[in-house]
Amino acid sequence: MTARNISRFWEWGRKIICVGRNYADHAKELKNAIPSEPVLFLKPPSAYVTEGFPILVPLYTNNLHHEVELGVVIGKAGTSIPQSDAMDHVAGYALCLDMTARDIQDECKSKGLPWTLAKAFNTSCPVSEFIPKERIRDPGNVRLWLKVNDQLRQSGCTAHMIFSIPYLISYISEVISLEEGDLILTGTPKGVSAVQEHDELQAGIEDVVSMRFKVARKDH
C-alpha cells in the first residue's frame, strides 16, 4: 500500500461518525425532541460512494431519504480533545449525504433496535471531493443546499447547528478516539425527502463545492 493521501480519505479512513438531530428545524420536522447531548451513530467505510457511481436503493426500503451534511475530515488523531484544540485535528471537509431508509429507521426506533439497516448500507454515504481546511474559513457559517431533479429541497446554514464542530470533536473523542482519515457527519437541516430510482441529486456548499449523484435500484 502506498502512503495515505488525505484527499482520498474514503479509500483508507476507518470510521464515519454521524450526529443526528443537530439542527432544531430538522429535529422538529421528524417530531424528535431537541437533544441535550449529541446523538451519535456509525456508518462503516463500505458506505462510501463517490461521484460517477450511483446511490443504490436497498431492496428493503420504500422511503429512502437524503440528508445533506457538512463532513469534517480528521487529520490528526486524538482522544479527549479539548474544544480549544479541536480545530487543530481537522484536515478539511467534504460535502456528504447521510442516506437514510426512513421507514426502517422508524421501525428500529419503535422496537428499540440499532439503526444499522437504516443508515449503514452500501452507498449510504455519498461524498464530494475533499475540501482542504483553508477553503472554508468558518465551517460554522456556511450554506448547504440539495436539489432533487433541479428542485430545491434543503437549504440551511451550519450556523444553526445545535452542537458546534469543536464541541462535537471534543464530545466524540472522549468516548471514541479519532484517527486520521475519520469522517464526522455533522447533521442535516430541514427539508429531508424521499428519492426514487432515476432521480438525480445535486448538492453543494455555497461557493466551495458541488456534487451530483444518480439514484439506482439495487440489482436482485
CA proximity to 197, closest of 141, 134, 142, 149: 149
Sole binder of a copy of itself in the list 113, 132, 141, 149 (CB under 8 A): 113
The least CB distance from residue 218 to a copy of itself, in Å, is 9
Cβ contact 139:165 at 8 Å: yes
Footprint of a copy of itself on 131-160 (CB under 8 A): none
Q: Which is nearer to a copy of itself, 122 or 164 (CB)?
A: 122
Give the one entry of Mg ion, a copy of itself, none that residue 156 binds, where binding means its C-beta sits below a cut-off of 5 to 8 angstroms depending on kind.
none
Binding string to a copy of itself for residues 10 to 39, with x set by CB under 8 A, is what?
----xx-x--x------------------x
Dihedral (CA of 30, 148, 104, 69) sign: negative
The least CB distance from residue 74 to a copy of itself, in Å, is 11
Q: Which is nearer to a copy of itself, 120 or 136 (CB)?
A: 120
Sole binder of a copy of itself in the list 24, 87, 176, 208 (CB under 8 A): 176
* Binding status of residue 216 toward a copy of itself by CB under 8 A: no
The least CB distance from residue 185 to Mg ion, in Å, is 6
Binding string to a copy of itself for residues 59 to 88, with x set by CB under 8 A, is what?
--------------------x---------
Q: Residues in the site for Mg ion, rule: CB under 5 A?
A: 15, 44, 67, 98, 188
